[in-house]
Amino acid sequence: MTIVRLACLSLFILLASCSSEQNDPYPASERGKNILYAAFTERPKHLDPAQSYTEDEYTFTEQIYEPPLQYHYLKRPYTLIAATADTVPVPRYFDAKGKALTADAPTEDIARSVYEIRIRPGIRYQPHPAFAVDDAGKPLYIDNDRGKLRGIATIADFAHSGSRELVADDYIYEIKRLAHPRLHSPIFGMMAGRIVGLKELGAALQRAAQDQPEETWLDLDRFALEGVTRVDRYTLRITLAGKYPQFVYWLAMPFFAPVPREVDRFYSQPGMAEKNLTLDWYPVGTGPYMLTENNPNSRMVLARNPNFHAETYPCEGEAGDRAAGLLADCGKALPLIDRAIFSREKESIPYWNKFLQGYYDASGISSDSFDQAVRLNVSGDVQLSEEMRERGIRLLTSVRPSTYYMGFNMLDPVVGSRDGVGEQRSVKLRQALSIAIDQEEFISIFMNGRGVAAMSPLPPGIFGYRQGEAGIDPVVYDWVDGKAKRKPVEAARKLLAEAGWPDGRDAKTGAPLVLNLDTTSGGMGDKSHVDWLTRQFGKLDIQLVVRATDFNRFQEKLRKGAVQLYFLGWNADYPDPENFFFLLAGAESKVAHGGENTSNYASPEFDRLFAEMKDMDSGQQRLAIISRMNRLLQQDAPWIFGFHPTSYTLGHAWLHNRKPTDVGNNSLKYQRIDVALREAQRRAWNEPVLWPLAVGVLVLLSVVLPAFVSYRRRERGTARS
Amino acid sequence: MLAYLVRRLLYAIPILIGVNLITFALFFIVNTPDDMARMQLGVKRVTAEAIAKWKVERGYDKPLFINAQAAGAGVLTDTIFFAKSARMFVGDFGRAEDGRDIAREIRTRMGPSLAIALPTFILGLMVTISFALLLAFFRASPLDFWGVVLCVALMSISGLFYIIGGQFLISKLWRLVPISGYSGGLDAWKFLILPVLIGIVSGIGSSARWYRTIFLEEINKDYVRTARAKGLSELAVLFGHVLRNAMIPILTGVVVVIPLLFMGSLLTESFFGIPGLGSYTIDAINAQDFAVVRAMVFIGSVLYIVGLMLTDISYTFVDPRIRFE
């Protein structure tokens, strides 16, 4: 009976060791602490501000780096405010002879725009070994050789750290880094055409990098940048070629965050990169948080920057913010959370279940968990499910500044003909398809209703977007009973017949109209999507051939203009209509110029209006031009306007001050956790269920004991028995 | 034996070159250097000039296999294939396409992979061998019948089902261990217990049936009858004689996978959030990171060759009649 005794003892020990929250994935030492728990799916590729350009990366970089400007957390439409700058800079304009011009001077007269940015004194960097100095003021960790790095595995292994004040030179250094040949900043090409002298700097740095051994430090201070100069310790001046009002938005992105020269030098020492001791791995900034643990395979930890400058929670927002409790922390010093721990969750099921157990403070809603999280009521409005409401979970929604569309290649002779009669046929064909493809149905079936049908390239929240009758696409919709109603298929069939394809057949030859859609094998290439699309085209008796391929081949086809129809989307860099309309500007044509206009749409009228609109300040005049541009696009229909996705986020009752922000991502500093409530809820939700253990042991015993008895009997039995 | 091992090691060199060549060809059929550059630089606002610069810096501006412009040995050596492959043979894996050191990443991720793979392997082997011996002992009894039925049922279920089912029952419903996550040191046990348990249970079915067949073949042989006739207990007969003589087929399947335990498990690591080498490989494939894919395939090949050699060596330990000549 020794086995039975041992089993009972093991079971007793096992049961005794099971406490409440046995499934807590975090160390017990973290309980009761002011920590936000979140998850990330994709490991950030870059944390260097000159390279980082995706939302996954901004989740981290925007908490660490501080560009001169930021977006107001609560106000909508999105409003730029100062971050480290003392105010939002107003450009001064000069003509080719250097004569100052007024703000309303004609764009063609403006040769240069000058932005003078003054940084607030007293802002200090996070503690970092790059700033550590000895008693004589000499840097402690410069001129290291590989031997001195023995025993150093992470940035925390350096015994000393220091800090220093933020100065204008740090911003200048970072702007120069955009031209660094080894960094491959994604915006270098674009900014080289804007910032005076940046292109020349890029060429000079390229030559210098070739002349010196690989992986040696390239001191950017040795190279002048004509368009970016230091006025005084706290002021820098940026000179742009021509007029570019959208430049201020770039000043709110990490590309323009400060990087101190000594940090660049520190990380450029031999042996550093081999240990992942780079700015790309351990960012250095003046922001509210610093990255104290970087294991992008498992978890990343942001901790409060002890040197963060004075900044308080906003006291004004948009209508409804007060009622939503978003102004309750007005005037409180930021940040409100001490640490943020981001764990990597590659699969949606564990992520969702840990959120329901209270181990993540917020979560998105994957398609797997959509039905569990929300319900659509009879009027089509989205509501939280009963289970979510019982848990006190809140639902936050916002329409993202993105647009998805099916584009026509305007170089294709069928859908994009530009010669007289042929052009009219193509236009009517495109309009007919715009009517026939039911975007509302697509949103309902494939996106669980999480989207808004697009009437133009502009999503809600972007200047120029208009609601109501004035905002509808009159080619596709009628305004009926105060709502936009898609035109009947008969209208599309009529247009198709006028185009010369009655019932989907060529009026002269009788040949069926066959169109090809190029797409990636995921997304629109999925069988369910293909079936749905085939039905939509079938409404007009048009035969659709879907050519699904991998992402690279798809991009190659777009570059060569070897597509007829394609499906794409665009996420805004900044909340300005220019950032959407440029996708259809002739100068951005993909085939001719390698730009972002994948439809290769070329309309002199549109280009003229675009050139006029992009440099204007937002106002009635600009609005009128945008309306004309929208009407032009709706008539020409180079895109079948798809949808603007809506993001759904769930937050637990203990998470406060969370407001969806799709442009500025530095929202962590505003959020607050009610730690006591979280602890209580976690305890209540995670009481372990122990009876299955006992049952398991009993089942095991019920198998093992008879086997044991049988074995003993055989052993003791005689050969005859 | 030394001569045999040296000969096997020499054979390994052309095999590794061949594997590398095939990896290269397959990867570059699907991805051109331009595609890789676009994947690394992003798709927004990337200029042709930036792509060209990226390729030059990473050495992807050269021809793949033959450089007709070069002179002498440069025809073969001044190519992407040579430049990227040669260093691997001296253990230098270089940097990933995002600039991070591959060897360091492998060292960091090896621990978590082994933390799951080793206990799953050792405990799994113990459990399946014991279970198979039990079935062999109770052969032709109801216990054997239902044991085989259980094995067939277990091997019929997909591995993904075990993972999702295990997470649902043990972590979500009964709340006994965390659903996913990983922690170093002593705290690791609570994250490992579920994936290890699932790994063992999901492997019992096929392994136990296979081992049972091997044991049944042995159990009726004369030497077993002799052992019983000597008065040995059934336990001593099973573990001391049957198991030992059935080791050759078991070792053939088992020893070869020991070195590959380093490579981690793609599915388990992904679902349990274990930052091991399995998820590293999958991430690299998704990111079209050729440097990492190439390094992982190379290491996998080396480990497989080592595993085969270890298998051969292990035969000499369990069967003294085997000699390497």
| Chain A residues lying within 8 Å of B32, measured CB to CB | 552
Q: What is the mean pLDDT of residues B9-36?
A: 87
Residues A69-127 pLDDT 10s: 999 999 988 999 999 999 999 999 999 999 999 988 988 899 999 999 999 999 999 99
Nearest-CA distance A316 → chain B (Å): 34
Strand A451-453 to A35-40 pairing: unpaired
Give residue B140's identity as a one-letter amino acid code. Answer: A
Query: Cβ contact (<8 Å) for B234 and A345?
Result: no
Q: Which residue has the higher pLDDT, A239 or A12?
A: A239
Helical packing angle, A2-17 and A691-716, nearest 10°: 170
**What is the number of H-type helices and E-type strands within chain A?**
21, 25
Query: How close A575 gets to chain B, by Cα (Å)?
Result: 16
For chain A, what is the mean pLDDT? 91
Q: Which residue in chain A is spatially nearest to B192 when comparing CA positions?
A: A25
A373 Cα to chain B: minimum distance (Å): 16
Q: Considering only CB atoms, which chain B residues are within 8 Å of A344? A: 273, 275
The percent helix, strand, coil of chain B (3-state, each to 5) is 75, 0, 25
Q: Which residue of A has its CA nearest to B103?
A: A274
Q: What is the mean pLDDT of chain B?
A: 88
Q: What is the pLDDT of residue B263?
A: 76
* Amino acid found at A384: L
In angstroms, the separation between the Cα of residue A554 and the nearest Cα of chain B is 11
- What are the extents of the domains in chain A? 47-271, 402-647
Contacts 24+ apart (CB under 8 A), A7-16: A7/A697, A7/A700, A7/A701, A10/A697, A11/A693, A11/A694, A11/A697, A14/A693, A15/A690, A15/A693, A15/A694
First to last CA, chain B: 7
CA A530 to chain centre: 27
Phi, psi of A48 (to 5 degrees): -75, 130
pLDDT for position A144: 66
Using pLDDT thresholds of 50, 70 and 90, give the confidence band for residue B175: very high
Q: Which residues of B touch A687 (CB under 8 A)?
A: 175
pLDDT (average), residues A224-236: 97
Residues of B in contact with A706 (CB under 8 A): 143
pLDDT of residue A691: 93
For domain A402-647, the CATH architecture is Roll (3.10)
Cβ distance of A552 and B182 shorter than 8 Å: no
Instruction: Compute the nearest-CA separation of A394 from chain B (Å).
Output: 22
Q: Across the interface, do B99 and A280 touch by the CB < 8 Å criterion?
A: yes
Burial A29-67 (b: 16+ CB within 10 A, else e): eeeeeebbbbbbeebbbbbbbbbbbbebbbbbbbbbbbb
Whether the per-residue pLDDT at A1 is higher than 60: the answer is no
Q: Which of A17-31, A139-153, A220-234, A706-720 tops mean pLDDT?
A: A220-234
The verdict on a CB contact (< 8 Å) between A186 and B41 is yes
Say which CATH architecture domain A47-271 belongs to: Alpha-Beta Complex (3.90)
Whether A721 shows a pLDDT value over 60: the answer reads no
Of B175, B187, B270, the CB nearest to A687: B175
CB contact under 8 A, B179 and A350: yes
CA distance A456 to A465: 8
Burial of A294 (0-12, 13-18, 19+ CB in 10 A): buried
Comparing CB atoms, the residue among B138, B175, B233 nearest residue A23 is: B175
Nearest CA-CA distance, residue A347 and chain B, Å: 6
Residue B325 has a pLDDT of 65
Overall average pLDDT of the B33-45 stretch: 79
B265 CB neighbours in chain A (<8 A) are: none
CB contact under 8 A, B104 and A693: no
Residues of A in contact with B176 (CB under 8 A): 18, 22-23, 688-689, 693
Going by pLDDT thresholds of 50, 70 and 90, the confidence category of residue A19 is low
Q: How far is CA A92 from the centre of its chain?
A: 32
Most B-contacting residue of A187, A199, A274, A347 (CB-CB within 10 A), to test interface: A347
Chain B residues inside the 8 Å CB shell of A206: 53
- Give the residue from B36, B38, B39, B45 with the most A CB atoms within 10 Å of its CB, the best one to mutate: B45
Nearest CA in chain B to A189: B47
Per-residue confidence at A711, pLDDT binned at 50, 70, 90?
confident
**Structure confidence by residue, pLDDT tens digits, B297-314:** 999 999 999 989 888 888
What distance in Å separates the CA atoms of residue B104 and residue A152, rounded to the nearest whole number? 13
Least confident window among A580-584, B84-88, B164-168: B84-88
Comparing CB atoms, the residue among A27, A182, A346 nearest residue B187 is: A27
Min CA distance, A433 vs chain B (Å)?
Answer: 28
Chosen from A552, A558, A699 to mutate, greatest number of chain B CBs within 10 A: A552
Is residue A157 predicted with pLDDT exceeding 80? yes
User: Closest partner residue to A53 among B44, B99, B181, by Cβ?
Assistant: B44
Give A-chain residues touching B49 at CB under 8 angstroms: 189
Record: contact B99-A278, CB cut-off 8 A: yes
Tell me the pLDDT band of A438, cut-offs 50, 70 and 90. Answer: very high
* Distance (Å) from the alpha carbon of A711 to chain B's nearest alpha carbon: 9
Q: What is the pLDDT of residues A382-398, one digit of tens each?
A: 889 999 999 999 999 89
- In this predicted model, what pLDDT tens digit does every residue of B102-124 receive, in sequence order? 988 898 899 999 999 999 999 99
Q: Say yes or no for a CB contact (<8 Å) between A295 and B275.
A: yes
Least confident residue range of A249-263, A479-493, B82-96: B82-96
Q: Give residue-wise pLDDT tens across range A631-646.
A: 999 999 999 999 999 9
Cβ contacts of A280 on chain B, cutoff 8 Å: 98-100
The reply to whether residue A715 touches residue B234, judged by beta carbons under 8 angstroms, is yes
User: Under 8 Å CB-to-CB from A618, ≥6 apart: which residues?
Assistant: A463
Contact A228, A169 (CB under 8 A): no
- Which residues in chain B are closer than 8 Å to A688, comparing Cβ atoms? 174-176
Q: Are strands A289-295 and A299-304 parallel, antiparallel or unpaired?
A: antiparallel
Tell how many helices (H) and how many strands (E) occur in chain B: 16, 0
Q: Do A344 and B109 touch (CB under 8 A)?
A: no
Q: Report the SS3 class of residue A133.
A: strand
Percent of chain A at pLDDT exceeding 90: 72
Least confident of A16-30, A358-372, B143-157: A16-30
Interface touch A18/B273, C-beta < 8 Å? no
Type of residue at A537: F
Q: Is the pLDDT of residue A688 over 90?
A: yes
Give the per-residue pLDDT at B8. 86
Q: A189 vs B181: CB contact, 8 Å cut-off?
A: no
Which contacts (CB < 8 Å, 24+ apart) does range B86-91 have?
B88/B20, B88/B294, B88/B295, B88/B298, B89/B13, B89/B16
Per-residue pLDDT band for A522 (boundaries 50, 70, 90) equals low
| Better-scored residue on pLDDT, A36 or A136 | A36
Partner-chain contact A688 B109, CB within 8 Å: no
Check CB contact under 8 Å for B45 and A596.
yes
Q: For residues B233 and B236, give the distance between their C-alpha atoms in angstroms, rounded to a whole number.
A: 5
Closest-CA residue of chain A to B276: A297
Q: Do A25 and B137 touch (CB under 8 A)?
A: no
Contact A158, A132 (CB under 8 A): yes
Determine which of A217-226, A498-507, B315-324 has the lowest per-residue pLDDT on average. Answer: B315-324
Cβ atoms B33, B61 nearer than 8 A: yes
A445: left (phi over 0), alpha (psi -120 to 50) or beta: alpha
CB < 8 Å to A594, chain B: 47-48
ipTM of this complex prediction, to 2 decimal places: 0.86
Instruction: Answer whether B108 sits within 8 Å of A555, measured CB to CB.
Output: no
Q: How far does the CA of residue A712 sit from the closest CA of chain B (Å)? A: 10
Question: Which residue in chain B has the smallest CA separation from A192?
Answer: B47
Sequence letter at residue A156 = A
| Per-residue model confidence (pLDDT) at position B37 | 85
